[in-house]
Structure 1
C-alpha cells in the first residue's frame, strides 16, 4: 500500500507540472464594460462622432448636457441632417476559434425633442461592421443605409451588415407598420439588414417624443433572443417590449461597431443622448488574443524554466520515494483522500490551481475583517490576487466538516464544466496544507438576499425583473444547455449573486448533482427549508422539478420582498406561497408586490412574475412547468397559465410493502378529500377482466366502503356527484407505465405474468377533468396467468369546490 501511494504521489507531482502547460492556454473571458454620462463631460475619448453628431447644449443653448446626433438650433439648415456616435474601437462579437457568441446588454437614456408640430425621423442603436462604412442616407433611412430620393418613393439598399433597434417617429407607408386609424407615427422595431423591421410595436406619439426615455437592450447567446425594453423616466410603469430570435454570428462579423445613428428629412427634430451603459462577455481562446502571445525569447524562457522545474520535481520525487521506502511510512486515511481529490480536480478544465500562500496573501492571512460570510461548510473571504490585482471571493472549507469536503469535490467537478454569463465563474482552487479553498470572481453587489431585505436601498422593479430573468437563464442552461443535466438542489436568494450591474449569477454548487437528461436524480434530499419541494421530503428524491419549485419560491420573494415563511407577532406562520395563492384566488394578486416599491412597477410584468412563481411552486411536481416554459412566460413569449383558485394540497398514501400495490392522488384542485379503501380477492383466468366497483353512492367524508365485484357491464355510481378523480400508481419497487393504445390504458408490468391496467372511462388515463353530469370512475382490472391474487387499492376522490375555467 505504501509503495502504491508513493508512486501515485510521484505521478501527481508530474501531473502538477504538466498542469502548468495546460493553464497557459485556457479559455478566458473577454469583457467590455463602460458607463458614460454625457451630461458631465463635454468630450469623451471613448466616443467617436461623425456627420452632424457632436457634444452640444440643450434646446435653449444654456448648459452642455448631451451628445446631439443631428444639428441643433444654433446651426442653420437643420433639416436633412444625419449623425452617428459610436464606440471608438472594435467590439468582439464572436470568437473564431470556438464559435462562442458574446452575451451583452446595454442601457441608454435619450430624448427626441420636437421643434415643430410635425417631426421626423428618429434614432437607432446599431451593431455594424468594423470599421464603420460611409453611409449618406438621411430621412427615412435613419442613417443606417444608403438611400436615394425620387418623386414617388424612397429606395433603401443594404450595402453592409447591420442589426439595429430603431425608435422611429415618422410613418413610411412603404415599410413601417400602420397604426389604428393613423393615430400615431411612432413605433419601435428591430431591423436585420433591412429598414423594414423584423418585429415592431406601435407607440403613442406623446410618449416617445418630448419625454426623457430609457431603453434596455440585451442579447442571450444561448436562446439567441434580442430584446428591447423601453420606458418613460417619469413613469417607468409604462413599458414597451419587443423580442426576436436572431443568430448574430450568421449576420455580423466577429468584430463590430456599436453606437447610435439619427436623421432628419424635410421634417426635423433634436436627437439627444444623455447616458450610455454597455456590458458584454465573450469566452474566447487565448490564440485570439494576439497581444498576449509570448515572444520567442519569452517562450524559450518558459520552456527552459519548465524543464528545470520538471527535473527539480523529478529529483525531489525520487528522494521522497527513497526516503519513504526506507522508513516504510504508510499514508493515513486523510492523505489517501487527498490523493483522490487531486486526481479529480486535475481532470477539470479551466480553473487554475493556486498555492496556499498565494491565497493567504490575497486575504491578508484570512483576517476577520475580510470575511464576507459564513456557513456550515466554512467561510468566504474577500481577497486581491497579488500578481494579477484581481478582486476575488475565496471560500475556505472548514476542516471539521466532512460534508464540506464532499461539497468541495462536487463543486469543482461540476462548475469547472459550466460556462454561462449567469453562473458565478470559478477562477481556481487550492488543496494545500490540509486546506480546501475555492476562488471565485467577486460579486461586488453581494447576494440577492442582502438587497431584498435591506430597507435602506430597495431594489427597483427593472432590477428585480432583470434578476428574475437572469436566474431563469442560468437554470435553463443547467437543465438543458449542458452535456449532462445539472440539478442545483439549493436555489435560494443567498446563492444568487449580483455583479456591479445587478445581473444575477447563480453560485454555490456544493449540493449540485450531474444526471442524464430525461432521468430522475435518485439522491438524498438536500437544500434549505422553505425552498425544498414537497415531494423531496416525502420520497427522498430530487429532480429538475425540485429546482423549478425553488425557483418559483425565489420569484415570489423577488416580487414580494418577503421570506418563504414569516413568523408573526402572535407566532402564527405565514407561508409565502399560500399567501400569494390566496390573493390570486381573490383576483388581487398585485397586492402581493413589495410595498416598498410604492407602486412603481410594471403591472403586466409583476403579474407574470407572481403567477409563474405560483406555477413553479405548485405542490404537485407533475403540474409544474419546465424551466423553459417558465422563462417563456416571463419573456412574454407564451400566455399565462390557468391555475386553480385555491392552492392544491398534496396527498400521499403511506409507504407500501413489497408485493402490495396502492393507488393514490398526487394532488387535487382542493383540500376536501374522500378516501375509498378498496380491497378484494378474486379468481381470474387468462384474458378475463374484472372490475371492483363501488356499489353505492359516495358522499364526502364517508366511512371506507366495501367494494364488491360485479358483472363486466359498464359500471356507474348510482347517484352521480361532481368529483375530480386524480390517480397515480405507487408501487414498490417503483415502475414506469407504458401506454396501451388499443384500450386507452396505462399498463404497469409487475412481472412477466402479472400486470395492472388503469384507465379513466371517456377521459383517458391520468388526467383530471371536471364532470357535472356524471361521476368519473376508475376501472381496474387484472390480467394474470395465475388463478388467484389479492389486489389492494387506495383511491382518493376529491370534490371540486373551486375551478377556474379557461
Structure 2
C-alpha cells in the first residue's frame, strides 16, 4: 500500500513538506542585530520595549533606578527584546556597542556620604533581582548567589561610589566577570562630578574578546583613543560566560547610604553574522579558500538528517494508524472490562486518550491509613515543612531512587498545587527544575495557611532523608552600605 494513502486528505504530504522546510537551514548568511536609540524614556515608540523591576521607573523622561527616601532599595531597567549574543551553529560571537548618559548625585545636598552606584549588565533572559540583593550588590548578586549555575552568570560594568572591603581603595569603574570582585578597575572621579552628566561608551570586540569602557564628564560623547576621557578594558569570552540569548540593562541598589542613579539616554547596536560557511572559510597566504569541504560536509550531514527525520515521521505515522485500527467501535470494552471512548474527531490532531484503569495504574489517588483517606497534597505538605519531603516517596520503591530527582519531583508537585494560581510555575520552569538545570524553589512555609492540611499518617513513614533547599536569608548589605 502506498504510504501516502494512509493519511486522510494527503495530510502526510504536508507533514513531510513542513519537516523539510524546518530542517533545512538558510543557505545564505543571516544577520541578527539589535538596535535602539532612546533619548526620552517616555517616548511611546522608541522606549516601548523598556521594562522595569523593583524601584526602576521613568521620571521626566529619564530612568530613576532607585528611590532615595528609604534604606536598602533595589531597581532595574532593561530592554525587553533579547540580544543574540552568539550563534551555536557557527560559533560566531557578536560585536556590540552601547552608549548611555547618566547622572549620580546625593539625595540631599547636606549628605556627607552617598552610595552605592549602579551597573550596566548582561545576564540570562528573565534574570530577576535576587532576594536580599540590597546594599553594595547592584541588585545583581546576593550572599547565597549560585555563580556555578549557568542561569545565574552575569557580566557587568559597575560604577561603584562606595569603597567596600572587597573593593580597591577608591571609588571606581569595574568590570565584573560573574563576581562582585571586579576583574579590572580604574578610578571613578565622581566626588568632583556629582550631578554632572557622564557620557559612557562600552564596546565588545568578538575577535579578541575584549570588553572596553570609556567615560567622560566633559560634556561630549566618550570616544576611543581620546585623551579627554578615561577608559578600562578586560578580556572576557562572553560565549563561555553567558547563554546564547541575553538581557541587557541597568541595575542599582542602596543600603544605609543612598543616592540618585539616573539614566538620561541609551543607545545600543549589535550585529551577529550567522553565516556558518563564511565563518568556516579561511583564506591562506596564497589567497585560496579552505572552507569548501566544510560546506559540503555540512550540506551532506543536513540532507542525511532530513531524510532520517522524514523516514521516522512516516514510520511513526504507519504505526499510529495501525494502532488506532485495533480499537474497534465507540464504547468498546477492553480485556479488563474498562470502557474505551472513541471520538469521531480527527485523531491525528488529538493527544492520546487513556482509559480509566491506565490512569489509576499510573499513580495514587490518596494515601490510605486505616479508615482515613488523606489527599496527597495534604499528606506531602507537612513532610515538606518538616524537611522530610522524601518520606513521601512510594514505599514500594524500597528507597531505590535518585534522591535529587525524587526531591525535585515532590517539591515541583507542591509548587504546581500552590493555592495562588499566579504563583504556580510555567511548563518551562518545571522542566528545568526536573532536569536539575535550575535550583529548587523555596516554597513559603505559610503557603497553605488558608488551606490547612490534614494530619499526615505517621505509621507508614519511611526513615527520613532530611535535605531541603535553604531559604535565602543573608544579604550583601555590608557594613557602611
Question: Greater RCO between the two (CA within 8 Å, min separation 6)?
Answer: 2
What TM-score, normalized by structure 2, do the two folds share? 0.49
The structure with the larger Rg is: 1
